[in-house]
Amino acid sequence: MMMKNLTSFNGNSYAVKALVVRAAGTNCDQETLHALTLAGAESDLVHINMLLMGRVRLHPYQLLVFPGGFSYGDDISAGKVLANQLRFRLRDQLERFVEAKKPIVGICNGFQVLVKAGLLPGFETLDNEQRVTLTLNDSGRFQCEWVTLQAEKSAAHWLTALPKKFDLPIAHGEGKFITMSSNVLDQLKANGQIVFRYASNNPNGSVDNIAGICNKAGNVIGLMPHPERFVVRQQHPNWPLLKSNVGQDIGDGFLFWKSVVDYAKTFIR
């Protein structure tokens, strides 16, 4: 799917090329495309099979996004099938993309994919051992609600537009972030890899209230809440009383995508 002959939210022509990868079960791709369009990117929505067959390659893009949903029905475990396709069949391309410091974003199921593919926590370019995971919520049920997040000072230094605290919706059954050991959690803290924490309440029981992390280099980021679902103010359930952080009609999720796209602009040649 190509988006052409459009202008960005601020009226500028598109420059950043974003690749949004979908698979069977992906269901947040259209919201993600819309968010990227508003933020100023030209986006291609591509099925994973096009990458596996070599008809599409990663290197022409400045931004790679894995949206939310239930890729392959989460039949083995959340995100595992898509993660294996990336890890074992696209490893070389992914490693070059990461080493070039280009941004990669995984939202909800996309976060689960990045974790199980070895792209996060990303102590190396592609971790050989899975050190963190996202497992069943403490509630034992699927949760769809709004949460307040706190933005942390992290290696993802390009996330400068976000306020210290902001709201986003969650929609997941396996969003509890845990580490394989306390040493891994200590490394995440020491490296500045914790990007977002739950500020109001911890909806799923994640260790240390972690809602999103980045790799050691700061260019690969995954989070469970959905910034693509709050790009305009009216998407918030309390929008008539909401005090906007940037403008009358802007949602805080837009600020996330604007930061991502602005960072990706530095890789345009």
Active site residues: 108, 226, 228
Helix/strand/coil for 49: helix
Interatomic CA distance for residues 222 and 213, integer angstroms: 6
Q: Angle at Cα 232 formed by Cα 8 and Cα 139, nearest 5°?
A: 130
* Other Cβ atoms closer than 10 A to 220: 29
Block residue for tokens 């899975």: 130
DSSP element (H, E) containing 222? strand 220-223
Q: Angle at Cα 162 formed by Cα 86 and Cα 165, nearest 5°?
A: 110
Interatomic CA distance for residues 54 and 76, integer angstroms: 26
Q: Which residues contact 157 (CB under 8 A, 6 or more apart)?
A: 218
Q: Which residue, 21, 70, 73, 19, is CA-closest to 41?
A: 19
Helix/strand/coil for 130: coil
Q: Which residues contact 266 (CB under 8 A, 6 or more apart)?
A: none
Interatomic CA distance for residues 174 and 135, integer angstroms: 5
- Eight-class DSSP state of 173: S
The amino acid that residue 88 corresponds to is F
Longest dimension (CA), the chain: 50
